[in-house]
Amino acid sequence: MIAVMLLPIICLLVFRKDTGSLFRIRHTYLLLLLCIMYCVFFVVHQQFNMPGFYLFIQDLIIIGFSEEYLYRGVMYSMMKKENTALAIVLSSLFWGITHAVYPTVVVGGDLSVFLTDCISNIGFGLFIGYGFIYVFEESKTLWIPILLHAVYDYSMGYGWIIFVGTVMYLYIVNKVGHTRQK
Judge whether 78 lies within some domain. Answer: yes
Judge whether 118 lies within some domain. Answer: yes
Check residue 163 and report its DSSP letter: H
Judge whether 7 lies within some domain. Answer: no
CA–CA distance, 162 with 127 (Å, rounded to integer)? 16
* Res 29: pLDDT: 87
Judge whether 142 lies within some domain. Answer: yes
Are the CB atoms for 154 and 53 separated by under 8 Å? no
Number of structural domains, the chain?
1
Q: How far is CA 94 from CA 81, 122, 132, 172, in A?
A: 18, 8, 14, 30
* List of the chain residues with pLDDT < 50: 1, 182
* Res 133: pLDDT: 94
End-to-end CA distance of the chain: 49
Judge whether 105 lies within some domain. Answer: yes
Judge whether 17 lies within some domain. Answer: no
Q: What is the pTM of this model?
A: 0.79
- For residue 132, the enclosing domain spans 28-39+67-181
The single-letter code of the amino acid at 22 is L
Judge whether 139 lies within some domain. Answer: yes
Judge whether 61 lies within some domain. Answer: no
For 76-121, the pLDDT digits (tens) are 999 999 999 999 999 988 888 887 777 677 777 777 877 887 788 8
Reference 96, options 65, 66, 69, 67; nearest CA is: 67
* Res 15: pLDDT: 54
